[in-house]
Amino acid sequence: MTNLFTVRVLAGAALVLLTTQCATTVEKDSPDSRRVVASAVPATTPAAPAAATPAPAPGAPADAGAVASAAPAAPAPVEPAARKTNADYKAEIRTADAMLKSAPRNADALLVRAKAKSHLKDYKEAIVDYNTLLRIKPTNAEAYYNRGLTRLKLKEYTPAISDFSKALKYNPTDKEALFGRGAAKMQLFNFGSAIPDFTKAIALDANYADAYEYRGICYSSINKPKEAKLDLEKATTLNPEAAKSLRRYTGNE
């Protein structure tokens, strides 16, 4: 069985990937374009369940400082051909501000402004806009999903789990919300509870490399090496970058 230190390292890894590699996590501009990236998963994990030295989970090193460096590379983010700049996001905020002056309850403008603020790392102000939007449209799955991502960046894992759960209530087939919820659970060391979320995401997309990788890391953390190996091998066939986790979590490093 993995010792307490190892488990903590694994959980820490889940955090780094989910919050540090946000490049892989794309806040969707539309429900169909969303993709939770490996950025939402821990970047610190021990080498393998049997190893005493921690290895990064979606990235975790032997010590807290080494965590981020050991994290596996996150898959390329799914974004529009023309990547937006900070200037673009600031322009979106100005446009939304103008619209909201005349129509304070314009949910679309609130969503655009909230996402732009989040991209600019103004997370707390983004949360304020998401809160206002959800008071106006309490069944908006996209707003819950994006607020969940923002809360992950703020390391508010329990509220993030709640948001992803609400997003799934109104959009049950949102594989990214399932992945985000699983990643948030990893941050809280709830590896066993995260596994069903990744499993459901895989059921919706049999080629979801990140879900296989993170589920494999969860299996490794709860001392299920066979299941971990199978998942990490599958993740590697879908995304060669997952080979880092395969070597680390199956003790072949």
User: Is the distance from CB of 229 to CB of 220 less than 8 angstroms?
Assistant: no
Give pLDDT tens digits for 177-186: 999 999 999 9
Q: How would residue 36 be classed by pLDDT, with cut points 50, 70 and 90? A: very low
pLDDT of residue 4 exceeding 50: no
C-alpha–C-alpha distance, residues 182 and 185, integer Å: 5
Where does CATH 1.25.40.10 sit in the chain?
85-138, 148-252
C-alpha–C-alpha distance, residues 190 and 179, integer Å: 14
What is the 3 state secondary structure string of 121-148?
CCHHHHHHHHHHHHHHCCCCHHHHHHHH
Beta-bridged to residue 171, according to DSSP, are: none
As a whole number of Å, the CA-based R_g of the chain is 18
Query: What was the pLDDT predicted at 62?
Result: 35
Q: What is the mean pLDDT of residues 192-219?
A: 98
pLDDT of residue 14 exceeding 60: no
Q: How would residue 253 be classed by pLDDT, with cut points 50, 70 and 90? A: low
Percent of the chain with pLDDT strictly greater than 70: 67
* CATH (one of 2.40.30.10, 3.40.50.11140, 1.25.40.10, 2.40.50.100) for 85-138: 1.25.40.10
Mean pLDDT of the chain: 78
Residue 77 exposed, middle or buried by CB count within 10 Å (0-12, 13-18, 19+): middle
Q: How would residue 251 be classed by pLDDT, with cut points 50, 70 and 90? A: confident
* Cα–Cα nearest to 38, from 63, 65, 13: 13
Question: Domain spanning 148-252 has what CATH number?
Answer: 1.25.40.10
